[in-house]
Amino acid sequence: MAFDTATELSTVGKARRRFPTGHVITYTVLVLGLIAWIFPFIWMVLGSVKTQQEMLQRPPTFLPENPTLDYYVSWFQEHSFLTFFGNSVIVALFTVLGNLIFCSMVGYALAKMEFPGKKILFGLVMAMLMVPGVVTFVPLFVMVSKMGLNNTYPGLILPFVTSPIGVFLMRQFMSGIPEELMEAARIDGAGELRIFARIVLPLCGPPLATLGILTFLGSWNNFLWPLVAAQDQSMYTLPVALSLYSIGQEGTQYGLLLAGAVLIITPILLLFVFLQRYFIQGVATSGLK
């Protein structure tokens, strides 16, 4: 919301601009930049419908001469795409759900309650934001292996089911909810759980949307952990499957790989285009506060 008000305000200033030619130049540069920026996506889609023969042609053709959907069909029929897709969806959904529930609960305690250890807890969460993933990676793998969770959904989900950034996001937003709202409910005899579920959570739409989207994104695109934790093909998520097909196999079957890439990217790009204000607002607010 704040975003748009600010946008409008700055547009007011712009009406008085003296050099419309400046606009033309800016637009030209931006349009050229934009084309270069999204070109890899265009090239990806074009390549995914070219025949094997056409892929080997030098110089490459721009538009496909005999567009074919063979690679896509092959993903579904021969490469168990739906299994990988299903795994990705299951892992992402539970990861999102866990983050929404756990981060908002602890966020509420940190924002609205006093308790011993609060400062330490918040400090630890913030410090954890700076710890590189690679530091915890090795012991995490050893632990998950020892618990027998390798190659299971819990093994893929549990390490990501909460996130320090999510706690931070929820706490920041909840701190801004007026104390009076809760006070009134307390006088009416409502318990904390009730206040949390009936008053606080319904007000938390925006940060929950942001957290849900960011977590979904992270889970959908995550590949290093599932790569080591999912050893059986039936447990692969989409990026793992594609990476095992593609990495280190130069020059082979680019068409099939590009089609796979399109299949992974499409759901997330659609989600992004429709929900872009939440994506972008989330990044901007979690950053600015």
* Binding to another protein in span 91-110, by CB under 8 A: 98, 101-103, 105-106, 108-110
Closer by beta carbon to another protein, 60 or else 67: 60
State in angstroms the smallest separation of the CB of 154 from another protein. Answer: 11
State in angstroms the smallest separation of the CB of 77 from another protein. Answer: 20
Residues 32-91 that bind another protein (CB under 8 A): 33-34, 37-38, 40-41, 43-44, 47, 58-60
Our CA angle for 12, 17, 23, nearest 5°, is 110
Cα separation, 154 vs 236, in Å, equals 13
Residues 203-232 that bind another protein (CB under 8 A): 217, 220-221, 223-224
Residues 227-266 that bind another protein (CB under 8 A): 238-239, 242-243, 246-248, 250-251, 254, 257-258, 260-262, 264-265
> Dihedral of CA 191/192/193/194: which sign?
positive
Reduced to 3 states (helix: H, G, I; strand: E, B; else coil), residue 235 is: helix
177 binds another protein, rule: CB under 8 A: no
State in angstroms the smallest separation of the CB of 73 from another protein. Answer: 18
How many residues sit close enough to another protein to count as binding (CB under 8 A)? 114
Closer by beta carbon to another protein, 93 or else 142: 142
Per-residue contact string for residues 120-159; x = within reach of another protein by CB under 8 A: -x--xx--x-xxxxxxxxxxxxxx-xx-----------xx
Closer by beta carbon to another protein, 73 or else 284: 284
Q: Which of 194, 197, 198, 231 binds another protein (CB under 8 A)?
A: 194
Q: Which of 69, 93, 126, 183 binds another protein (CB under 8 A)?
A: 183
Q: Which helix (H) or strand (E) holds 177?
A: none
Nearest to 271 by CA among 23, 96, 140, 45: 96
Q: Which of 177, 190, 199, 201 binds another protein (CB under 8 A)?
A: 190
CB 164 within 8 A of CB 128: yes
Nearest to 276 by CA among 203, 213, 196: 213
- The answer to whether the peptide bond before residue 132 is cis (omega within 30 degrees of 0) is no
State in angstroms the smallest separation of the CB of 107 from another protein. Answer: 9
Q: Which of 66, 120, 187, 252 binds another protein (CB under 8 A)?
A: 187
State in angstroms the smallest separation of the CB of 250 from another protein. Answer: 7
CA distances from 229 to 151, 197, 234 (A): 6, 35, 12
H-only helix segments in the chain = 2-14, 20-48, 52-55, 70-77, 81-112, 118-128, 133-146, 153-157, 164-175, 179-187, 192-195, 201-203, 205-221, 224-229, 238-246, 254-274, 276-288
Query: Euclidean distance between the first and final Cα of the chain, in Å?
Result: 15
State in angstroms the smallest separation of the CB of 96 from another protein. Answer: 15
State in angstroms the smallest separation of the CB of 190 from another protein. Answer: 6
